[in-house]
Amino acid sequence: GAGVSQSPSNKVTEKGKDVELRCDPISGHTALYWYRQSLGQGLEFLIYFQGNSAPDKSGLPSDRFSAERTGGSVSTLTIQRTQQEDSAVYLCASSWSRGRSYEQYFGPGTRLTVT
Amino acid sequence: KNEVEQSPQNLTAQEGEFITINCSYSVGISALHWLQQHPGGGIVSLFMLSSGKKKHGRLIATINIQEKHSSLHITASHPRDSAVYICAVRGGSNYKLTFGKGTLLTVNP
pLDDT for position B94:
57
Provide, as residue numbers in chain B, all residues whose Cβ is less than 8 Å from the Cβ of A91. Answer: 42-43
Measured between alpha carbons, how far is A20 from B58 in angstroms, rounded to an integer? 40
In 3D, which of A91, A112, A70 has the Cα closest to residue A3? A91
pLDDT digits 0-9 by tens, A65-88: 999 999 889 999 999 999 999 999
Intervals of chain B under pLDDT 50: none
pLDDT per residue rounded down to tens, chain A (115 residues): 579 999 999 999 999 999 999 999 999 899 999 999 988 778 999 999 989 998 888 899 999 999 999 988 999 999 999 999 999 999 999 988 765 456 788 999 999 999 9
Provide, as residue numbers in chain B, all residues whose Cβ is less than 8 Å from the Cβ of A56. Answer: 93, 95-96
| E strand segments, A1-115 | 5-7, 10-13, 19-24, 31-38, 42-50, 53-56, 65-69, 75-79, 88-95, 105-106, 110-114
Q: What angle do CA B46, B55, B21 make, to 5 degrees?
A: 60
Cα of A81 to nearest chain B Cα, Å: 27
Q: Touching check for A85 and chain B: CB below 8 Å?
A: no
Nearest CA in chain A to B102: A42
pLDDT for position B1:
58
Measured between alpha carbons, how far is A11 from B107 in angstroms, rounded to an integer? 32
Provide, as residue numbers in chain A, all residues whose Cβ is less than 8 Å from the Cβ of B6. Answer: none
Cα of A97 to nearest chain B Cα, Å: 8
CB contact at 8 A, B80 and B63: no
Name which of A104, A110, A111 to mutate to probe chain B: the one with the most chain B Cβ atoms within 10 A of its Cβ: A104
pLDDT for position B84:
95
Q: Touching check for B101 and chain A: CB below 8 Å?
A: yes
